[in-house]
Amino acid sequence: MQLLNRTGLILLWLAAPLVAFAAANKNDPYLLVLRGAGNIALVVTSIVIVIVLLRRGRWCTTAGKLLVMLWCVPPLLMSAAHLKFELRKHDVLAASAAEAGQLGPHFMVGYSSLPEVARLAEQGLIGGVYVTRHNIRGRTVEALRAEIAALQDKRRAAGLPPLVVAADQEGGIVGHLAPPLTKLPALATLAGLAPDDQQAKAAEFGRIHGRELAGLGVNLNLAPVLDLKPPVRRNRLDFHTLIGQRAIATDPAVVSAIASAYVRGLEQSGVGATLKHFPGIGRVRTDTHHFSANLDTPVKELEATDWLPFREVLSHSRSALMVGHVTLTAVDPDRAASHSKRVVEEIIRDKWGYQGVVMTDDLVMGAIYQHDVCQAVVEAINAGVDLLLVAYDGAQFYRIFACALDGSRRGRLNTAMLRASEARLARGFPSEQARAVSSTVSVARQN
C-alpha cells in the first residue's frame, strides 16, 4: 500500500505540469480534442485532486503544499486562456462595418457552430465557409443543404454578397463529405488508362462531384491535386499530406490531361475548381501540417516539370489556385510561398499573368501556425492572396482575423492590393451563380 501511495504521488508530480501546460494552451489546434467536455473534465479533475490531497493531510508538509498549489494552477491557467480568447473574439466581433467590409471577404472559415458562423456571415467578417466531415457526420444531406441555404439567406438579408462555400472532395483518401456523397476513386487510378478513357472518366468524376456539391449549395471544390507524384517514398512522419496517394501521376502531361477533364466536369456542374498545392509538395519530404518544409529545386526545373500542369489548367479554366506552405528557396528563402510576395505577385501574377483567385492552404497548419501567424497574414494580403483559409480549427479565425485587423489599424496593409483582390473575388465567384444555387435550395426546402 505504501508503494502504491508513493507511486501515486510521483504520478501526480509528473502529471501536474502536463495538465497545467494543456490548460494554458487550451485553444491550441493540437488540443482541439480537449475542447468542451475535455476542458471541463480537466478542471474538475484538478479540483478533485486538490480536495483529495487536502483530505489526506498533504498540506501539513512543504512538499505537500507545493503539490496542492501545483494542482490549483491548471484551472487558473485555463481561465486566463479562456479570457484571452473571449477578449480577442470580442475585439473581432466589434470591428467596424468599414473594417469588416475591407477584410471580411478575404477569409474562409471552417465551423462547428452554426449560430457562431452565422453571426460572422451576417456581420461580413467572412467571405466564405468550408464544410467538412464533422458538418455532415450523423446528419442527412438535406440538413446540411438547409444549413448552407440558411447562411446564404442571412447574407442576402444583410445586403452582402453570397458566401463562397467550399468542400474538399478529391476522391480516394480525401473525400470529406463521402459518405453520404458518392465515394469516388482517386484521380490517380485513371493514370493507367488510354488517353481518351482518362479524360472521359475524369470528366465524369468531375460531373459527379460537381452535381452533388452544387446540390448541397457548395460552389467551390478544393480539388484537383496537381502536385507531381513523388518519385521516392516520403518521410515516415508524413501522417497527413500523403501526397503519394493523392497525386495523379509523375508525368506532367498525364496530370494536365486528367486534371483538365476533371475541372471541365466540375465547371459544367456550376462548381469551381481549386488547383493545389503550388509550388508543389511532391518533392518535399516534410509534412507541412506540422513542420516547415523547403522546396530546393531550381525554378527552371520546376517550370519544365512540376509547374506545367498548373499553367496548362489555369490557361483554359476559371480555377482558383491554392498556394501551399512550402518555402521555395530559390525565390524566397525567408518565408513560405503562401505569404511570399515574390512567389504570388512576381511569379503567379506578373510572370504567368494569372488574375484569378489565389488562396492559401489552411493557416492552422503547423508550417504557419507554429511561427509568426500575424506576420504571415499581413504578408499574404500584401502579396495579393485573395482568400485566407482557416479550415481545421475554425476557432482560430478570431486570432487570425485579429492579425489582419491589427495590421489594418497600424497601416501595414496595402489597400491597393485589397481593392484588386476584391475585384478578383467578384470575377472568380459570380454572385448570380451563388444566388441561383441558394435560391434553388431555399425553394426546395420550402416545398
Task: Check if 197 is active-site.
Answer: no
Given a contact cutoff of 8 angstroms between Cβ atoms, the answer to whether 275 and 320 are in contact is yes
DSSP state of 99: H
Helices first, then strands: H and E counts in the chain: 18, 12
323: β partners: 278, 360
Strands (E), 114-270: 128-130, 164-167, 169-171, 174-175, 220-221
Query: Which one of the listed residues 227, 238, 361, 386 is annotated catalytic?
Result: 361
Task: Check if 153 is active-site.
Answer: no
Longest Cα–Cα distance of the chain, Å, equals 82
Least Cα distance to 186 among 196, 197, 200, 201 occurs for 201
Which amino acid is present at 166? A
Q: Give the C-alpha separation, 187 to 171, whole Å.
A: 7
Dihedral sign for Cα atoms in the order 110, 287, 274, 352: positive
Q: Give the C-alpha separation, 249 to 227, whole Å.
A: 8
DSSP 377-414: HHHHHHHT--BEEE-S-GGGHHHHHHHHHHHHHTT-S-
The C-alpha cell at 202 is 475524369
Question: Quick check: helix, strand or coil at residue 183?
Answer: coil
Query: Which one of the listed residues 289, 290, 325, 339 is annotated catalytic?
Result: 289
Q: Which residues contact 161 (CB under 8 A, 6 or more apart)?
A: 105, 127, 155, 426, 431, 434
Q: Give the C-alpha separation, 274 to 319, whole Å.
A: 5
Q: Give the C-alpha separation, 445 to 447, whole Å.
A: 6
DSSP 265-318: HHHHTT-B-EEEEET-SSS--S-TTTS-EEE-S-HHHHHHTTTHHHHHHHHTS-
Q: Which residues contact 139 (CB under 8 A, 6 or more apart)?
A: none
Half-sphere exposure of 124 (CA within 13 A, CB side): 15
Looking at the annotation, which residues are catalytic? 289, 361
